[in-house]
Amino acid sequence: MNIEEQVELLMQGTEYGDEDLKKAMTSDLRERLMIAQKENRPLRVYCGYDPTSTDLHLGHTITMRKLRQFQDLGHEVTFLIGSYTALVGDPSDKNKARPVLTEEKVNENALTYAEQAFRVLDKEKTKIRYNGEWLSKLSLVDLIRLGQNFTVQQFLQRDNFANRLEKGEPIYLHETFYALMQGYDAVAMETDVQVGGSDQLFNIIVAGRKLQEALGQKPLVGVITAILPGTDGVQRMSKSTGNIVPINTGANDMFGKLMSVPDAAMSAYMRLATRWTPHEIEQIERDVVSGALHPRDAKMKMAHEIVSIFYGEEDAKSAQENFVKMFQQKEIPDEMPEYDLKPGQTVVDVIVDAKMAESKSKARSLLDQKGVRLDGEVIAHDAPFPHPGVLQVGKRKFLRIK
């Protein structure tokens, strides 16, 4: 790719909330790429991940997809595990303070992160680092010197802090440390480009760039990705809302969940979660508008592409064939009743409440007999209802769970 094609690809799916800022970052990225090409060196690119849990879903991997694009263009990528930032917890998208994790819990969670990340990133080309490497060495004097680059007003103007202040909810002093710590990550690694979701705008554009400049470095380019909507197509993908596509779920399950995404969200999924270029995506969208490609077939192409990233071409092809067999060859009806899932409901609760079995004991018996499926996958035990989808009980009872 020439420089302009690289810029177009790397800025695909970005979101800054301000067109002038996006233009500035686009221009800075173009300049960095030209300098790197002239000096025959790769850009130093990183994204940080706080191991606050063990399992990743597709939404977590959007920034990894962007890192992979930089890798494929020959740049140096660091997968930074926030072993110290995780102790504080990022307040960027939270309306209350995160619980402070122990170092033991952080290290336990971190063990699975890199392994899952390598389903997107090239393992041979990825540097793994932990920010405790440098943050653990900062003294109180160092923290004071970092803090003098910011005002309290800058933090209080952030939406999440402003909302909590207005509601009279507590804002703890340690929460303001997070942006300083993340900004110092960029300084410690002499970063050219930092990738992050749009909830990281303050931490990257304000804290990272400001600290680098204050400490004599050229301010980084922030590549800020949009947030992937969940399978409902509206809210951000999140475990708490149950609208996730887990990446350790199996090819068939992932394919089915992707096919349940509303048509209106397809554009976001194609731009954020596939390996397709801007021109390839635009062609698919043109074909859908012209009628040359049915929206269902476009979604199937998208699901196949995303599943193949995590499970390989063979499993993606098999998952597609299984989906076609189940959903398009009339093994389930096109029309079926719908059911609104209530918080805290288990599989048995739903089956009984929807009158798909006359009692809880009968529902459990159906589970034991492997007579209950969700999006084609057998549910063998009663547990909290996993996610929205098509619930099949026995051979003829179907229910669309919303």
Q: Which domains does the chain have, with CATH numbers?
A: 3-225 (3.40.50.620), 239-328 (1.10.240.10), 338-401 (3.10.290.10)
* DSSP secondary structure, 253-299, as one string: HHHHHHHTS-GGGHHHHHHHHS---HHHHHHHHHHHHHTSS-HHHHH
User: In the predicted model, what is the mean pLDDT of the chain?
Assistant: 87
pLDDT tens per residue across span 47-76: 998 877 667 788 888 999 999 999 999 999
**Pick the residue with more confidence: 352 or 114?**
352
Check if the beta carbon of residue 10 is closer than 8 Å to that of residue 69.
Answer: yes
Residue at 311: amino acid letter:
Y
Could you tell me the pLDDT band of residue 330, with boundaries at 50, 70 and 90? low
| 131 pLDDT more than 70 | yes
Using DSSP's 3-state secondary structure scheme, residue 337 falls into coil
pLDDT given at position 95: 46
Angstrom distances, CA of residue 163 to CA of 32, 96, 156, 190: 37, 10, 9, 34
Q: Distance between CA 354 and CA 356 in Å, rounded?
A: 6
| pLDDT average, residue stretch 338-347 | 91
Q: Which of 2-6, 296-300, 309-313, 394-398 has the lowest mean pLDDT?
A: 394-398
Per cent of the chain over pLDDT 70 is 94
- Residues 70, 230, 117, 317: is their CA dihedral positive or negative? negative
Q: Which of 13-17, 52-56, 119-123, 292-296 has the lowest mean pLDDT?
A: 52-56
Per cent of the chain over pLDDT 90 is 45
Beta strands in 84-192 (DSSP E): 126-130
pLDDT given at position 89: 62
Paired sense of beta strands 397-401 and 389-393, if any: antiparallel
Q: Distance between CA 324 and CA 397 in Å, rounded?
A: 19
pLDDT given at position 332: 67
| 186 pLDDT more than 80 | yes
Q: Which of 25-29, 332-336, 384-388 has the lowest mean pLDDT?
A: 332-336
In degrees, rounded to 5, the angle at the alpha carbon of residue 70 between the alpha carbons of residues 66 and 72 is 110
Using DSSP's 3-state secondary structure scheme, residue 85 falls into helix
pLDDT given at position 99: 59
pLDDT tens per residue across span 268-327: 999 999 999 989 999 999 998 988 988 888 999 999 999 999 999 999 999 998 888 776
pLDDT given at position 90: 60
Angstrom distances, CA of residue 14 to CA of 6, 52, 274: 14, 25, 14
Using DSSP's 3-state secondary structure scheme, residue 331 falls into coil
pLDDT given at position 202: 87
Size (the chain), residues: 402
pLDDT given at position 212: 94
| 5 pLDDT more than 80 | yes
CA terminus-to-terminus distance, the chain: 43
**Pick the residue with more confidence: 123 or 396?**
123
Identify the helix (H) or strand (E) that includes residue 206: none
pLDDT tens per residue across span 78-106: 999 888 887 776 655 444 455 566 777 77
pLDDT given at position 51: 75
Check if the beta carbon of residue 360 is closer than 8 Å to that of residue 352.
Answer: yes
pLDDT given at position 371: 87
How many Å separate Cα 41 from the centre of its chain?
A: 29
